[in-house]
């Protein structure tokens, strides 16, 4: 029973973590909460849905090799979403780089509303239902029931998180991102192209969010144009819980949030599922204002 | 150049004014309110098409009181706040009556607005008892009530399914929770309620609640809510290895339930009105609807009859004055697509039979 709840929590927590990474990365380099990030996740889910709907029109190869097709969906949706992320930054935030802090925040909210309505108008207001690509046969091991899709989901989020960890800590571009997030001015003096770094950060964040979107779509089977709000909200909570600006913090925060929700709902009442998460969040913020793994706040708000 | 532009604008303004002026005198407006967008938009579209069909038929016969009917749709998005906004919009637009809303949580706050404005409201789907228990003379419904529905569902669970342990889930809305409580009341001491859980509408992950329910090992799981959450719950419950059948109500009566939940939904029960494909009076409706909008949704016929009752009553009252129309509805002896409808003192239909349906091979079928 406990293990089952834990597994449930990790499954959804992995999704939260992937979205939370986008918030935390952008906050790191720009000190901005990108409130349109939830919508990128939603758009990712929709792009995934469009890809899945195209299946009957594709060569028979893809119909027999579902795994190849699913990988392709992830790549296409995440790739396109990176472009969304790139232009989101270029159009909505870059012109406001020197503006007071609240201005880009308003711009982010505007972009969020724009994306929601764009999807509603182009894709319709009804729920979209994913056709079942992978059969969800239930298996039981040590009293814990799970499906292959669930394991794949957990595996994929872990792989993506490890990949990101490697990218941030072991590559030139990742080092540049860390440099900009520590001190943008100094990084610029040392020859780092700050604009490129910021663009890359948005693209990486959007890539991960889109993966989460496709994953959630495939796993739960339904999406609509409002999922970005709730998903974004939860992921933002996860990012703050782990310590906004910290990459490992966002991963830990996402998983922790999922587990707290699952255990809280499982052992107490499901009616107050969200309450447990926010209760823990408040408790953490009282004792560790920078979040669980956050750096000490350099700047005063 | 500028002079011409100003002149042109003035002309357009004049045209716009006259058009509006003449239009308002020659039409009777009726409102149709429901969730036209959002996750439950299928129910909204079914309703709107049903009302549209009724309006078109009346207009083809020359309208009501010699005037054409104009349908004003209102989208409440299944949100109580939005429902009140829609109701206020209807009042300012001067509608003669309203068909809707769908969700009880929308119908009840909206009914307060209609009551103050004296506009008749006929809900096609709101089953929460409270709607007609408020003592508002202008509020009616053509569907049944959750206390009747809950009783039928409970009797079915005890009698046919012979359940001993039942888990109950609801979506914390007026309808869902109310229906769940009526079901529990109906069970009495006949079965043990091993869990009573509320879920948040709009979420996708219900694995904590289904895991918990599965551990209580129920003979059946009751769900008070709408198909969007219902489909996900059933799918996720079966995915953690649950085997008990689900019982729901009018809220899950949509093929969308099967689309969302997949094969896991087979064997799910729902209480609803009798199959209209088998009622002789519904034959014409079904044919006309199919020709225009495709296969009717389960609520289309209720919306169609609600609209017809409203229009017929306006005709009979000889005016669009609220109080007179309300009186005409109260006195109506209507034979429509659903069969014979008369209202009691509260505004409920006099006899509303509930039957049990079952999902078999991906389709809802009425149990014999």
Tens of pLDDT, residue by residue over B145-164, are: 999 999 999 999 999 999 99
Q: Which residues contact B36 (CB under 8 A, 6 or more apart)?
A: A125, B44, B45, B48, B73, B74, B75, B77
Output the CA–CA distances (angstroms, integers) from residue A260 to A140, A230, A300, B210, in the order listed: 23, 17, 30, 16
C-beta of residue A23 within 8 angstroms of C-beta of residue A37: yes
C-beta of residue B50 within 8 angstroms of C-beta of residue B289: yes
Q: Is residue B8 part of a domain?
A: no
Considering CB atoms only, which of A140, A261, A271 is closest to B172?
A271
To test the contact with chain B by mutation, choose from A1, A2, A3, A4 the residue with the greatest count of B C-beta atoms within 10 A, namely A4
Q: Which residue spans within chain B are E strands per DSSP?
A: 27-34, 68-75, 98-99, 121-123, 139-141, 165-170, 192-198, 220-224, 246-248, 269-272, 334-336, 339-341, 355-360, 363-366
- Edge-first strand listing for the sheet containing B121-123: B68-75, B27-34, B98-99, B121-123, B139-141
Q: Is residue B9 part of a domain?
A: no
Positive/negative CA dihedral, A205, A211, A214, A215 = negative
pLDDT at A299: 46
Q: Decide if A12 and B232 are in contact by the 8 Å CB cutoff.
A: no
Query: Do B267 and B289 sit in the same domain of this protein?
Result: no
d(CA B54, CA B341): 16
- B112 pLDDT above the threshold of 70: yes
Q: What b/e sequence results for A199-236 when a residue is b if at least 16 CB atoms lie within 10 Å of its CB, and e otherwise?
A: bbbbbbbbbbbbbbbbbbbbbbbbbbbbbbbbbbebbb
Which tokens is B309 given? 């009752």
Q: How many other C-beta atoms lie within 10 A of the C-beta of residue B319?
A: 13
Which tokens is A63 given? 């119909």
Q: Is residue B163 part of a domain?
A: yes
Q: Is residue B308 part of a domain?
A: yes
Query: Do B225 and B175 sit in the same domain of this protein?
Result: yes
Residues of the domain holding B320: 20-145+279-341
* Omega before B101 within 30 of 0, i.e. cis: yes
pLDDT in single tens digits along all 301 residues of chain A: 888 899 989 999 999 999 999 999 999 998 899 999 999 999 999 999 999 998 888 888 887 888 888 899 999 999 999 999 999 999 999 999 889 988 999 999 999 999 999 998 898 877 888 887 777 677 888 878 888 888 888 999 999 999 999 999 999 999 999 999 989 899 999 999 999 999 999 999 999 999 999 999 998 888 988 899 889 999 999 999 999 889 999 999 999 999 999 998 888 887 888 888 888 888 888 988 888 887 655 544 3
| CA nearest to B239, candidates A155, A132, A277, A256 | A132
Q: Are strands B339-341 and B334-336 parallel, antiparallel or unpaired?
A: antiparallel
Query: Do B227 and B358 sit in the same domain of this protein?
Result: yes
Query: Do B249 and B295 sit in the same domain of this protein?
Result: no
Query: Do B168 and B198 sit in the same domain of this protein?
Result: yes
**Residue B240 vs residue A126, higher pLDDT:** B240
| CA nearest to B175, candidates B206, B129, B234, B132 | B129
pLDDT at A149: 84
Provide the shortest C-alpha distance from residue B174 to chain A (in Å). Answer: 15
- pTM across the whole model: 0.83
Query: Do B264 and B332 sit in the same domain of this protein?
Result: no
- B38 pLDDT above the threshold of 60: yes
Query: Do B154 and B263 sit in the same domain of this protein?
Result: yes
CATH number of domain containing B87: 3.40.50.2300
Query: Do B269 and B312 sit in the same domain of this protein?
Result: no
d(CA A45, CA A80): 11
Q: Is residue B347 part of a domain?
A: no
Q: Is residue B202 part of a domain?
A: yes
C-beta of residue B136 within 8 angstroms of C-beta of residue B115: yes
pLDDT at A301: 38
d(CA A71, CA A57): 17
Provide the shortest C-alpha distance from residue B271 to chain A (in Å). Answer: 24
**Residue B252 vs residue A134, higher pLDDT:** B252
Q: Decide if B262 and A221 are in contact by the 8 Å CB cutoff.
A: yes
Q: Is residue B348 part of a domain?
A: no
Query: Do B176 and B78 sit in the same domain of this protein?
Result: no
Q: How many CB pairs under 8 A join A and B?
A: 95
Query: Do B90 and B55 sit in the same domain of this protein?
Result: yes
Phi-psi region of A199 (alpha: psi -120 to 50; beta: other; left: phi over 0): alpha
Chain A positions in Cβ-Cβ contact with residue B38 (cut-off 8 Å): 125, 224, 226
Q: Which residues of A touch B (CB under 8 A)?
A: 1, 4-5, 8-9, 11-12, 120, 125-127, 129, 132, 136, 138, 140, 145, 147, 150, 216, 220-222, 224, 226-227, 230, 261-266, 269-271, 273-274
Q: Which residues contact B269 (CB under 8 A, 6 or more apart)?
A: B153, B156, B161, B245, B246, B247, B248, B356, B357, B358, B359, B367
Q: Which residues contact B184 (CB under 8 A, 6 or more apart)?
A: B150, B154, B168, B193, B196
Q: What is the pLDDT of residues B74-92, one digit of tens each?
A: 999 999 999 999 999 999 9
Measured in residues, chain B has a length of: 368
Number of domains in chain B: 2
Q: Which residues contact A229 (CB under 8 A, 6 or more apart)?
A: A38, A116
Q: Decide if A127 and B228 are in contact by the 8 Å CB cutoff.
A: yes
pLDDT at B108: 95
Query: Do B258 and B215 sit in the same domain of this protein?
Result: yes
pLDDT at B22: 44
Positive/negative CA dihedral, A71, A74, A78, A80 = positive
- B31 pLDDT above the threshold of 50: yes
**Residue B20 vs residue A236, higher pLDDT:** A236
Considering CB atoms only, which of B202, B209, B240 is closest to A230?
B202
Q: Which residues contact B112 (CB under 8 A, 6 or more apart)?
A: B134, B136
**Residue A279 vs residue B168, higher pLDDT:** B168
Query: Do B287 and B305 sit in the same domain of this protein?
Result: yes
To test the contact with chain A by mutation, choose from B35, B171, B207 the residue with the greatest count of A C-beta atoms within 10 A, namely B207
- The number of CA neighbours under 13 Å toward the Cβ of A9 is 24
Q: Is residue B15 part of a domain?
A: no
Q: Which residues contact B41 (CB under 8 A, 6 or more apart)?
A: A125, A126, A127, B35
Q: Does B215 touch chain A (CB under 8 A)?
A: yes
């Amino acid at each position: 029973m406990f293990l089952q709840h834990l597994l449930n929590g990790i499954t959804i927590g992995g999704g939260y973590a992937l979205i939370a990474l986008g918030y935390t990365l952008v906050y790191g380099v720009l000190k901005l909460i990108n409130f349109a990030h939830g919508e990128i996740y939603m758009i990712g889910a929709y792009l995934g849905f469009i890809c899945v709907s195209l299946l009957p029109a594709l060569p028979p190869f893809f119909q027999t090799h579902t795994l190849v097709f699913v990988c392709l969906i992830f790549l296409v949706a995440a790739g396109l979403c990176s472009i969304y992320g790139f232009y989101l930054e270029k159009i909505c935030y870059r012109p406001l780089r020197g503006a007071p802090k609240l201005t880009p925040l308003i711009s982010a909210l505007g972009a969020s509303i724009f994306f929601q309505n764009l999807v509603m108008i182009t894709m319709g207001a009804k729920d979209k239902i994913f056709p079942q690509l992978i059969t969800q046969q239930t298996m039981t091991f040590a009293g814990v029931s799970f499906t292959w899709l669930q394991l794949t989901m957990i595996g994929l989020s872990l792989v993506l998180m490890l990949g990101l960890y490697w990218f941030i800590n072991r590559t030139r571009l990742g080092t540049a991102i860390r440099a900009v997030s520590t001190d943008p001015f100094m990084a610029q003096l040392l020859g780092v192209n700050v604009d490129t770094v910021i663009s890359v950060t948005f693209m990486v964040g959007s890539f991960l969010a889109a993966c989460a979107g496709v994953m959630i779509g495939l796993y739960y089977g339904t999406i609509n144009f409002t999922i970005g709000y709730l998903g974004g909200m939860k992921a933002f909570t996860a990012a703050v819980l782990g310590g906004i600006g910290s990459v490992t913090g966002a991963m830990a925060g996402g998983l922790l949030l999922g587990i707290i929700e699952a255990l809280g709902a499982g052992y107490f009442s499901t009616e107050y599922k969200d309450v447990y998460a926010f209760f823990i969040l408040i408790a953490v913020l009282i004792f560790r204002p920078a979040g669980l793994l956050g750096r000490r706040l350099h700047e005063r708000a | 150049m500028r002079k011409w532009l100003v002149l042109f604008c003035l002309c357009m303004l004049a045209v716009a004014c006259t058009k509006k002026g003449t239009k308002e005198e020659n039409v009777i407006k009726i409102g149709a309110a429901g969730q036209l967008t959002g996750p439950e938009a299928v129910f909204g579209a079914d309703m709107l098409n049903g009302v549209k069909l009724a309006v078109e038929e009346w207009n083809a016969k020359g309208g009501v009181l010699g005037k054409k009917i104009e349908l004003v749709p209102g989208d409440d998005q299944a949100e109580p706040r939005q429902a009140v906004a829609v109701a206020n919009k209807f009042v300012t637009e001067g509608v003669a009556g309203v068909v809707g809303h769908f969700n009880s949580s929308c119908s009840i706050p909206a009914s307060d607005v209609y009551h103050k404005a004296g506009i008749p409201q006929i809900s096609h789907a709101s089953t929460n008892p409270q709607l007609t228990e408020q003592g508002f003379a202008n509020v009616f419904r053509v569907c049944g009530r959750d206390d009747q529905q809950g009783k039928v569902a409970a009797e079915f669970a005890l009698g046919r399914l012979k359940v001993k342990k039942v888990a109950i889930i609801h979506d914390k809305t007026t309808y869902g929770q109310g229906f769940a409580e009526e079901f529990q009341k109906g069970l009495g001491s006949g079965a043990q309620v091993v869990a009573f859980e509320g879920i948040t509408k709009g979420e996708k992950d219900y694995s904590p609640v289904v895991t918990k329910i599965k551990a209580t090992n129920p003979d059946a799981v009751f769900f008070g809510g709408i198909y969007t959450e219902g489909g996900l719950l059933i799918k996720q419950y079966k995915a953690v290895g649950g085997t008990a059948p689900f019982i729901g109500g009018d809220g899950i009566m949509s093929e969308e339930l099967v689309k969302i939940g997949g094969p896991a939904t087979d064997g799910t029960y729902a209480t609803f009105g009798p199959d209209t494909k088998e009622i002789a009076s519904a034959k014409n409706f079904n044919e006309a609807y199919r020709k225009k909008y495709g296969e009717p949704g389960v609520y289309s016929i209720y919306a169609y009859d609600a609209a017809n009752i409203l229009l017929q009553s306006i005709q009979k009252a000889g005016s669009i004055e609220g109080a007179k129309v309300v009186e005409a509805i109260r006195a109506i002896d209507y034979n429509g697509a659903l069969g014979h409808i008369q209202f009691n003192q509260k505004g409920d239909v006099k006899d509303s039979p509930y039957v049990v349906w079952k999902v078999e091979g991906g389709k809802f079928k009425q149990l014999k």
